[in-house]
């Protein structure tokens, strides 16, 4: 099984600041990596797939990057609606999720 490790567990950011979330995989996942945002009481929302392709309707301030076993999600200028938990997911070998990074506001 491909193990996903996200860091940090919690990220406290001020509105307007840049946020960078990390996701490491225990083996290479090629280009098969996605990011999701989940707010309390809601279903997850797909942000990024294929490492760097934004899902329809996702603002340009969200960007994904990386390769091999190290990936990042960057929110260029955090908005108030961006709080929540962010999960990375690999779908190269079966499907596994990271444990999540909680983004909250300073």
Partner 1 sequence: EEVLVESGGGVVRPGGSLRLSCVASRLTFHDYAMTWVRQVPGKGLEWVSDINWNGSRTAYSDSVKGRFTISRENAKNSLFLQMSGLRAEDTALYFCARHISWNIYDAFEIWGRGTMVTVSS
The residues binding partner 1 (CB under 8 A) are: 1, 32, 34, 36, 38, 42-46, 49-50, 55, 87, 89, 91-100
Q: Which residues pair with 102 in a beta bridge?
A: 10, 85
Closest CA to 71 of 38, 101, 93, 102: 101
| Shortest distance, position 13 Cβ to partner 1, whole Å | 21
CA distance 38 to 48: 13
CA distance 59 to 38: 16
| Shortest distance, position 15 Cβ to partner 1, whole Å | 26
| Shortest distance, position 94 Cβ to partner 1, whole Å | 7
């Amino acid at each position: 099984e491909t193990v996903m490790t996200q860091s940090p567990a919690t990220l406290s950011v001020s509105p307007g600041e840049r946020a960078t979330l990390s996701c490491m995989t225990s083996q290479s996942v090629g280009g098969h990596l996605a990011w999701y945002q989940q707010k309390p009481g809601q279903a997850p929302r797909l942000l990024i797939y294929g490492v760097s392709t934004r899902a329809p309707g996702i603002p340009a301030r969200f960007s994904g990057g990386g390769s091999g076993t190290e990936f990042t999600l960057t929110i260029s200028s955090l908005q108030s609606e961006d709080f929540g938990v962010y999960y990375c997911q690999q779908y190269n070998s079966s499907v596994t999720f990271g444990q999540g990074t909680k983004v909250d506001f300073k």
